[in-house]
Structure 1
Amino acid sequence: MGRILAHGPHRIGSPCRPVEQWPDPQSSSRKPPVSSKSAPPPGHTDPAILRNFCIIAHIDHGKSTLADRMLQLTGVVDERAARAQYLDRMDIERERGITIKSQAVRMPWTVAEGNDEGAEPGDYVLNMIDTPGHVDFTYEVSRSLEACEAAILLVDAAQGIEAQTLANLYLALGADLHIIPVLNKIDLPSAQPEKYAAELAGIIGCDPDDVLQVSAKTGLGVEKVLNEIVKQTPAPVGDADAPARALIFDSVYDTYRGVVTYVRVVDGKLSHRDRIKMMSTGAVHEMLEVGVISPEPVKAGEIGVGEVGYLITGVKDVRQSRVGDTVTSQHGGAAEPLGGYKHPNPMVFAGLYPIDGDDYPTLRDALDKLQLNDAALAYEPETSGALGFGFRCGFLGLLHMEITRDRLEREFDLDLISTAPNVVYQVTMEDGSVHEVTNPSEYPEGKIAEVREPVVKATILSPSDYIGTIMELCQAKRGQLGGMDYLSEDRVEMRYTLPMADIVFDFFDQLKSRTKGYASLDYEVTGEQAADLVKVDILLQGETVDAFSAIVHRDAAYSYGVMLAGKLKDLIPRQQFEVPIQAAIGARIIARETIRAIRKDVLAKCYGGDITRKRKLLEKQKEGKKRMKMVGRVEVPQEAFIAALSNAPSAEKPKK
């Protein structure tokens, strides 16, 4: 199979449906599943029979379901333990129907004599990694690719090639992996396997007949895919006699056992009770347990060249096991570490604050442990006058932020407030000094010469019926059209340059709703551009509430100020005195709402009599209110912060 990328147009796509149940094993063309006992034990495996591969695809094209069928066919999961999306272990993955974490699993496979695919008969060991499909979790995919020699590129036969299909394909080609093209869901009534097989072959540079066609739901064609993996995937290459070197591609924190480290062994071997060294930190540990995932942890005496497995050293300090680090032996270890990974730059920043201030140490420990499992998460402490102590966190996108907050609340039993997300701005003052702003509270005072914001190159694939709708949306988001190509009579690719601040909030949701779910989006950061941006402050009784400040385009400042002031008027309870809510750019007020004071009926006891007594009582009340306004503080309930910040930056920018 050639690995040359054709110079054809790029493409992109949209989701499918989850699988309700496992199919009857009798429906598969392969009668008896291979017993997992037939697999060679880890550590004693000849690298020649090892095959390391991953499954990459767009969202909902069937990666996890295909993994289910492979687990079933190879016999590592019996019918009693089987469930749909078996490798999606987290509750949040199963609830949302998406894969968030890559999962590695070791499977035995026996290639029969005289098979149609021409694979060499014999017993093999397959190490499979199931990867996420969403653009926010691309870093998970890129790390998984480093542990493999081949990638199955999975495409929905009803949807065709979509945005993340191409993005993940380029990642795999960049990692020099062999590509095995597979069309899934050929059992759907709307499937067009011939059309999309030709499309896929054109991109990869192979013959359409080489594109495998399967139905992961029914198991049709999956046995052929396993045989093709054995035939096409190169065996891992490494020196078994060299000093041990293993690349850490993932880690997880276990409450009882400490840090569990997932590695791919490149050279040598790692044995039980060996003393190992982390090459970046120099930390030395004793291996208390070593083994493989099949699909549950299985202990082994050692793991050798090409093996994907796990290590447990009993270490509780999460900083001792960094993703991308090289593990070697303490005595006679390797001199040169492996290449590791390029650390991802956060795209979106938001503050996370505990509702109960006493939970701050718990939140710090929780972020430490979560960062071990999610290397793309970055954070640093910060303080807010309104919200107290918390952390400024960097994420790869809005979904990444949402999942991280959800995991912190579920796994560590925390109640959190997150501030409105924003991107990183470069602010140049008139005196030539440059400030990096990740938080509106860091926005400098004084005369500003220029503000630069990050921009992305977005690729949108859509049916041609929605071209006008998409152009209208992109223009409202200050986008610039970079080009447009028709992939076929009814499918078009549009390339836009868009400000990242407008991508991260609600752009994807609006794109999906305006195109009835048919459009798909992929984007990458390409640089910066100068923009007319201003900081909008919200003042309560003349005092700035930093949690509500935002950096927005000047054209959207008024609508943002009116929207948030109106929302806070409804959310903040009435006080004993009148409270003005103001939106301001610098010293200029651009919007105002007023919360009326609660007034006691001081005339209730006056019935009849002289009017001067009533006037005296009213004047006395007026003086009291005036004095209270001078010394009184506005109490903003936590519910108001949560409700106001949940979708604060939703003000639509006016069309130019």
Structure 2
Amino acid sequence: MTQGSLAHTTFTQPERIRNFCIIAHIDHGKSTLADRMLQLTGVVDSRSMRAQYLDRMDIERERGITIKSQNVRLPWAVTNDAGVKEDFILHLIDTPGHVDFTYEVSRSLAACEGAVLLVDAAQGIEAQTLANLYLALENNLTIIPVLNKIDLPAAQPERYAAELAHIIGCDPSEVLHVSGKTGQGVEALLDRVVANIPHPVGDSDAPARAMIFDSVYDIYRGVITYVRVVDGKIRPREKILMMSTKTTHELLEVGVISPEPVPTKGLGVGEVGYIITGVKDVRQSRVGDTITSSVNGATETLGAYQDPQPMVYSGLFPLDGSDFPLLRDALDKLRLNDAALTYEPESSTALGFGYRCGYLGLLHLEITRDRLEREFGLDLISTAPSVVYRVTMDDGSEHVVTNPSDWPGGKIAHVHEPIVKCTIISPSEYIGAIMELCQTRRGTMGGMDYLSETRVELRYTMPLAEIIFDFFDALKSRTRGYASLDYEEIGTEEGDLVKVDILLQGEPVDAFSAIVHKTNAYAYGVSMTEKLHKLIPRQQFEVPIQAAIGARVIARESIRAMRKDVLAKCYGGDISRKRKLLEKQKEGKKRMKMVGRVEVPQEAFIAALSTDAPTGKEAKK
């Protein structure tokens, strides 16, 4: 069927619509399968086709991962039992696979009735596959199990089909076998989508109600809002009401993505598309909000999404202090496209004015900083990530600490830290290495199940602070890359935590402070003092670098003073003259140490706060 026969008609009957998404673990072929669907349905011709067509951002194409969910409208024809061709509209939403972008997946699921659960036929079920499956089941979606990459030499479709069928509770023969690379089995998959996934249900005569499930900011057109219509119809030039903010706007354009934006005469029940109101204020288009007509509109909302709770906090500061207003505007615009990002102003004596940002994980932090630098031309420095602690004092007062500089002084009764439930899936020969790693990170084993003879699922309860840095890297290196990890927050637990301050000549530098477990405090203090000893240039006077817990110093390094050779002109003669010159120099150094301040170059901050060695890019900054 060719593009245009159904792609741009108005108000398609709900019975002819199928809304579905593709969910899977990272690198199991979601975007490649979506590419074949675009080609097969004819919405993208072979000349315009490129790999990962729906990954629009440069950063997605470079890293080979999906960060933003993308929706596209596909025409598809199916021959019924009577031999008559019936036309359908498929709305496909391609979702990310990484645990940090689970929130993107949950928003996409709310706009669908079904999900294609994709599993790599060479790797089998991974931790994030299960997490996304449970998300889909919570949303009561129809699941279509699919094995991808069956063309690979290492593929074991029979083995993994049995594994998949066991988890979902279906027959192995019901698991479809496809290849996103060659296109094998994709037609049968689209036919299965039409046959199995229920059509959207809604009242076309009721007042219009549409849910916002994503938005982007366009510098020329303002806010572009992606919606799923549940009841009624929305048309261009109508006045609409945003039900949470109570603001009204005129619809300048209504359209569908096929796969580029195409204006239409409106959207009906079950249809997924975009609207443009010309609004420039990014706060007026909230994800999860319900849109209705401003005249005789609906009174009940569709039920908002739960706002995601940040799991990791880090400060973002512009290298040039005059860029602070630009950073504020950039964060406002980025938050429209990334509803999981939170931020509030913060100041640091070492780094100036910036923002304390909340993220869903370390990759989310990295991607956010990268996008701010690429899309808005900012040079940024981010402080070491930390999680949210709840500190109770002896007098019963409670403090919420997201930044080491907020750590309260005085007698602390106890500290609670966030705890996560980790699911690790790995070949069974690596069980010992995984257990050892988890125990060194203060993990408590919650159970172990064999998915098959050779693959095992381990469940651990661990402090979030132990896994946000390099736990995933350590897990991959110990299992030769075969293990997969998923985690979810399950509450808080009391921990023996302390704040380690880094002092330069007796003065604490807030940017280098950290909250760590008591057993790791000495190691952190030694590594930070050694790092700064190499990075801070020599001064005119000796500079002690100390790591301290309260008033107790636990590690120290000293940067030796630069010295002028005051004896250069003394050729022989009485020793007392030389001693007098050295004593005079010593007095001068002592006086300078009392009034001098330690100069810490920006490069030293960047290198010390990066989790690994500074890259060439950072060194240039």
Q: TM-score range by the shorter chain?
A: over 0.9
**Matched residues in 1 for 2:141 and 2:439: separation?**
39
Partner of 1:435: 399
- CA positional deviation for 1:433: 0.8
- CA positional deviation for 1:119: 10
Partner of 1:21: none
Task: Name the structure, 1 or 2, with higher relative contact order (CA <8 Å, separation 6+).
Answer: 1
Identical positions, percent: 75
Query: How many residues align structurally?
Result: 613
Assess if the C-alpha contact under 8 Å between 1:119 and 1:230 holds in 2: no
The amino acid that maps onto 1:377 is L
1:558 aligns with 2:522: yes
1:369 aligns with 2:333: yes
Assess if the C-alpha contact under 8 Å between 1:564 and 1:648 holds in 2: no
**Matched residues in 2 for 1:492 and 1:209: separation?**
24
Partner of 1:14: none
1:519 aligns with 2:483: yes
Aligned alpha-carbon RMSD (Å) = 1.3
Q: Residues 119 and 204 from structure 1, CA distance in 2 versus in 1: closer, same or farther, beyond 3 angstroms?
A: farther
Partner of 2:447: 483
Partner of 2:322: 358
Partner of 1:8: none
Partner of 2:617: none
1:49 aligns with 2:16: yes
Among 66, 71, 87, the alignment partner of 1:99 is 66
1:66 aligns with 2:38: no
> Could you give the per-residue CA deviations for residues 30-57 of structure 1, whole angstroms, max 9, x where no partner exists?
xxxx211111534331111111100001
Among 429, 450, 456, the alignment partner of 1:465 is 429
The amino acid that maps onto 1:594 is S
- CA positional deviation for 1:340: 1.8
Partner of 1:112: 79
The amino acid that maps onto 1:336 is E
- CA positional deviation for 1:317: 0.4
Runs of 4+ in 1 over 4 A off after TM superposition: none
> Could you give the per-residue CA deviations for residues 173-195 of structure 1, whole angstroms, max 9, x where no partner exists?
11111111111111111111111
Assess if the C-alpha contact under 8 Å between 1:42 and 1:304 holds in 2: no
Task: Determine helix, strand or coil for the equivalent of 1:349.
Answer: strand
Task: Determine helix, strand or coil for the equivalent of 1:273.
Answer: coil
Partner of 2:264: 300
The amino acid that maps onto 1:55 is I
**Matched residues in 2 for 1:531 and 1:238: separation?**
50
- CA positional deviation for 1:287: 1.0
**Matched residues in 2 for 1:401 and 1:345: separation?**
14
1:76 aligns with 2:43: yes
Among 565, 568, 574, the alignment partner of 1:604 is 568
Assess if the C-alpha contact under 8 Å between 2:215 and 2:287 holds in 1: yes
> Could you give the per-residue CA deviations for residues 520-572 of structure 1, whole angstroms, max 9, x where no partner exists?
11111111111110000000000000000000011110010000000000000
Partner of 2:182: 218
Name structure 1 gaps, 5 residues minimum. 1-33, 650-656
- CA positional deviation for 1:84: 0.7
1:417 aligns with 2:417: no
1:345 aligns with 2:309: yes
**Matched residues in 2 for 1:356 and 1:463: separation?**
49
**Matched residues in 2 for 1:605 and 1:82: separation?**
78
The amino acid that maps onto 2:22 is I
Name structure 2 gaps, 5 residues minimum. 614-621
Among 231, 236, 240, the alignment partner of 1:276 is 240
> Could you give the per-residue CA deviations for residues 446-504 of structure 1, whole angstroms, max 9, x where no partner exists?
11110111111111111111111101100110111111122222111111111110011
**Matched residues in 2 for 1:499 and 1:471: separation?**
15
Assess if the C-alpha contact under 8 Å between 2:7 and 2:258 holds in 1: no
**TM-score, with normalisation over the residues of structure 1?**
0.92
Q: Residues 40 and 385 from structure 1, CA distance in 2 versus in 1: closer, same or farther, beyond 3 angstroms?
A: closer
Assess if the C-alpha contact under 8 Å between 2:282 and 2:333 holds in 1: yes
Among 336, 355, 361, the alignment partner of 1:397 is 361
Partner of 2:165: 201
**Matched residues in 2 for 1:347 and 1:68: separation?**
33
**TM-score, with normalisation over the residues of structure 2?**
0.97
**Matched residues in 1 for 2:112 and 2:361: separation?**
26
Among 568, 580, 585, the alignment partner of 1:616 is 580
Partner of 1:17: none
**Matched residues in 2 for 1:595 and 1:393: separation?**
34
1:522-537 equivalent positions in 2, closer than 5 A: 522-537=486-501
1:542-557 equivalent positions in 2, closer than 5 A: 542-557=506-521
Q: Residues 119 and 159 from structure 1, CA distance in 2 versus in 1: closer, same or farther, beyond 3 angstroms?
A: farther
**Matched residues in 2 for 1:260 and 1:139: separation?**
20
1:452 aligns with 2:403: no
Assess if the C-alpha contact under 8 Å between 1:420 and 1:648 holds in 2: no
The amino acid that maps onto 2:24 is A
Partner of 2:535: 571
Assess if the C-alpha contact under 8 Å between 1:277 and 1:284 holds in 2: yes
**Matched residues in 2 for 1:96 and 1:438: separation?**
30
Task: Determine helix, strand or coil for the equivalent of 1:417.
Answer: strand
Assess if the C-alpha contact under 8 Å between 1:42 and 1:303 holds in 2: no
1:320 aligns with 2:284: yes
